[in-house]
Chains A and B, each alone.
Chain A
Amino acid sequence: MSTTIAKTLDLKGLACPLPIARTAQGIRELRSGELIEALATDPGSVPDFAAWCRATGTELVEQNEDGGVYRFLIRKK
């Protein structure tokens, strides 16, 4: 299992559905097991990332918030 972040997506300022859609696009080129980090400011992205991970069977490894920026660390299935 990789612990280094393969890719970071800056999704700050974007509104629904872009944070999720850009993540779905960005995760394509990753290999299974690799980590992707998504940074968003849309508060709606918190439940949406949880729902997206649940729907796609993707693991949400870590989630935190710092100064209005939500950080999601996701492992590609």
Chain B
Amino acid sequence: MMETHVEAEKAAEHVPHQKLVIFAWSGDLDKVWPTLILATSGAAMGMQTTVFFTFWGLFPLVKDEVRITGENWMQRLLSTMDRPGLEHLKLGRMNFAGAGPAMMRKLAKEHHVASPTELIDLAKDLGVKLVPCQMTMDLLGLSREDMIDGLEEPTGATTALLEAQDAVTLFV
């Protein structure tokens, strides 16, 4: 009994957590960025990493060149007010009509911080599963064609929670 306990402790010391699941709810640049930094770091350290994108978190997965998304006027209006795409994200605070994000991206470049677009590519290369939420896609009128390549099949909350059961979970 004692021995098993010690062995289990040893194993736990070696691999603290095997899985990381991040629920990416926000579409703000200053939330998407750290989400991608954590996801790539988790995958780099051998954690089986999944990011489940839901609500505003889905717009960053829309291709940058897609300007308007949605099938009806309400969905189209949403994408008009909040331009989708990783290169068009706004800051959650100090946005100043786009001056904030521009400064943030300039600073990041000067400090050699990878951009969200670079991090998404890195995440795919490291095997991070990028999963869009089916319900929100329907709600926002987003099609698979609107969205970037390399995403997993859209799923629901149950699938996401099943994946999260034995994982470190973050809601961003």
Q: What is A's interface to B at a CB cutoff of 8 Å?
A: 13-18, 20-21, 23-25, 51-52, 54-57
Minimum CB–CB distance from A13 to chain B (whole Å) comes to 5
Quick one: which of A14, A20, A25, A57 contacts B41, CB cutoff 8 A?
A: A20
Q: How many Å from the CB of B102 to the closest CB on chain A?
A: 19
Interface string of B9-32 (1 = CB under 8 A from A): 000011110000000000000000
> Which among A16, A21, A54 has the highest number of chain B CB atoms within 10 Å?
A21
Tell which of A20, A24, A25 has the most Cβ of chain B within 10 Å: A24
User: Are B112's CB and A55's CB within 8 A?
Assistant: no
| Distance, CA A51 to CA B112, complexed state (A) | 22
* Range for the number of chain B residues in contact with chain A: 20 to 34
Residue B113 is within 8 A (CB to CB) of chain A in the complex: yes
CB pair A15–B113 under 8 Å, yes or no, is yes
CA distance A25 to B43 in the complex (A): 10
Q: Would A24 and B44 count as touching, CB distance under 8 A? A: yes
Q: How far is the CA of A31 from the CA of B71 in the complex (A)?
A: 51
Q: When the two chains form their complex, are residues A23 and B44 in contact, meaning their CB atoms are under 8 A apart?
A: yes
What would 12 more interface pairs be, CB under 8 Å, given A56-B45, A57-B15? A15-B114, A16-B41, A17-B37, A17-B41, A18-B112, A18-B122, A21-B40, A21-B44, A21-B122, A51-B45, A55-B46, A57-B14
B111 at the interface (CB under 8 A from A): yes
* B125 touches A (CB below 8 Å): yes
Instruction: Check B172 for interface membership: any CB of A closer than 8 A.
Output: no
Residues in B with CB closer than 8 Å to A23 are 44
